[in-house]
Amino acid sequence: METVLSGIRSTGHLHLGNYFGALRNYIKMQDEYNCFFFIADLHSLTTHPHPADFHAGVKTILCEYLASGLDPQKSAIFVQSDVPEVSELYVLLNMIAYKGELERTASFKEKVRKQEDNVNAGLLTYPVLMAADILIHRAHKVPVGKDQEQHLEMARVLARRFNNMYGTDVFPEPQAFNFGSDLVKVPGLDGSGKMGKSEGNGVYLIDDEKTIHKKVMKAVTDSGPTEPNSKMPDSIENIFTLLKIVSTPDTVAHFTEAYNNCSIRYGDLKKQLAADICKHTLPIRERIEEIYNDEAYLHNVAKRGRELARESASATLREVRAVVGFKSF
Ligand code: TRP
């Protein structure tokens, strides 16, 4: 069985984009692959979070992952810093990662521009740590968004370089997981691009009914079509895309027809959209709260995840250490 691995940074909350774009696919993948899902808390340290916020961030994502349907009986769900083998592989990979290639990655250049007062070495070697995450479990497939493709390429480069340098095939080259027609692109509510954490255009799984209604009612629209069957501007098209994701085909057909014959009232459309989003997210929100308060359950999930991940990681590291030439006296 092939191994799939995915990591998420431990900052913020999961939004509809995460849920419909990735998590719903992960839930299905759990039956077909050997899955590793982890929370990349070491990566989050590049921004120097306060220790109290740091743990809260990890707990939040863990609860939201579990409430969304990731199943600790099927997958290894774990916290990156619980697996010290990753940090050791990171050190070893740093020896074959070159400063020039790291400086050229788009994400590093962007950080240099955005946070010039904190350009730490962890930011520079961010892709090396990510490669260690992937290679330590010898993952074959990694589902990544556009913004992470270059990092995945770096993982392939480092795997290849390591294998060539030591004449081994210890690391398979990880490929992007292609969702194909299952890929759902979830737009934001601001009429621009996709829903994102930093864009402030998202609906979160933890949002309550009132918040969801408020956000949806504020979504960008225009004054409405004046000609029958006219082309939708991006902002309206985005609302219809969201409707297609959360509503029934009948509902979508109803509002499409209303748009096409110019009788549409955006207020009604948004009310329906908000109600249908709530249908999906409110049960998850309840689960999040339950799990958040169940310390014993969280303890057991993290323990089992840690055990599975360390078993896989230590087997790889044992081989890697031998290949590099470590020998005990
Ligand atoms: N860098 C990824 C992100 O920002 C998170 C991540 C860390 C990751 N390690 C990973 C994703 C390994 C996939 C595989 O989204």
Q: Which of 43, 107, 126 to mutate to test the pocket of ligand 1 (most atoms within 8 A of CB)?
A: 43
Q: Is 154 in the pocket of ligand 1 (CB under 6 A)?
A: no
What confidence category does residue 32 fall into, taking pLDDT thresholds of 50, 70 and 90? very high
Q: Whose CA is nearest to atom 8 of ligand 1?
A: 7
| Residue 196, in any domain of the structure | no
Tell me, yes or no, whether 131 and 261 share the same domain: no
Gap from CA of 144 to ligand 1 centroid (Å) = 8
Tell me, yes or no, whether 33 and 102 share the same domain: yes
| Model confidence pLDDT, tens digit, residues 78-110 | 999 999 999 999 999 999 999 999 999 999 999
Residues involved in catalysis:
111, 194, 197
Gap from CA of 122 to ligand 1 centroid (Å) = 14
Q: Is 6 in the pocket of ligand 1 (CB under 6 A)?
A: yes
Q: Is 46 in the pocket of ligand 1 (CB under 6 A)?
A: no
Tell me, yes or no, whether 219 and 84 share the same domain: no
Distance CA 256, CA 215 (A): 22
| Residue 199, in any domain of the structure | no
Q: Which of 151, 156, 194 to mutate to test the pocket of ligand 1 (most atoms within 8 A of CB)?
A: 151
What CATH number is associated with residue 242?
A: 1.10.240.10
| Residue 106, in any domain of the structure | yes
| Residue 29, in any domain of the structure | yes
Tell me, yes or no, whether 14 and 93 share the same domain: yes
pLDDT of residue 199: 74
Tell me, yes or no, whether 257 and 303 share the same domain: no
| Residue 282, in any domain of the structure | yes
Cβ proximity of 153 and 91 under 8 Å: no
Tell me, yes or no, whether 214 and 132 share the same domain: no
In ligand 1, which atom is closest to the CA atom of 129?
9
Tell me, yes or no, whether 40 and 130 share the same domain: yes
- Does residue 180 register a pLDDT over 90? no
Distance CA 266, CA 203 (A): 18
Write 272-277 long-range contacts (CB < 8 A, 24+): 272/243, 272/247, 273/216, 273/239, 273/242, 273/243, 273/246, 273/247, 274/212, 274/213, 274/216, 274/217, 276/243, 276/246, 276/247, 276/251, 277/16, 277/203, 277/212, 277/216, 277/242, 277/246
| Residue 91, in any domain of the structure | yes
| Residue 200, in any domain of the structure | no
| Residue 194, in any domain of the structure | no
pLDDT of residue 83: 98
| Model confidence pLDDT, tens digit, residues 215-258 | 999 998 988 999 999 999 999 999 999 999 999 999 999 999 99
Q: Is 130 in the pocket of ligand 1 (CB under 6 A)?
A: yes
What CATH number is associated with residue 319?
A: 3.40.50.620
Tell me, yes or no, whether 141 and 10 share the same domain: yes
pLDDT of residue 313: 98
Tell me, yes or no, whether 172 and 236 share the same domain: no
Structural domains of the chain, count: 2
Cβ proximity of 137 and 4 under 8 Å: no
What confidence category does residue 192 fall into, taking pLDDT thresholds of 50, 70 and 90? confident
What percentage of the chain reaches a pLDDT higher than 90?
91
Q: Is 274 in the pocket of ligand 1 (CB under 6 A)?
A: no
Distance CA 39, CA 112 (A): 24
Tell me, yes or no, whether 153 and 46 share the same domain: yes
- Does residue 198 register a pLDDT over 80? no
pTM of whole model > 0.85?
yes
Parent domain of 66: 3-185+295-324
Tell me, yes or no, whether 213 and 272 share the same domain: yes
Paired strand residues for 5: 36
- Does residue 188 register a pLDDT over 90? yes
In ligand 1, which atom is closest to the CA atom of 143?
13
pLDDT of residue 280: 97
The token duo for 206 is 């933890």
Tell me, yes or no, whether 79 and 213 share the same domain: no
Q: Is 137 in the pocket of ligand 1 (CB under 6 A)?
A: no
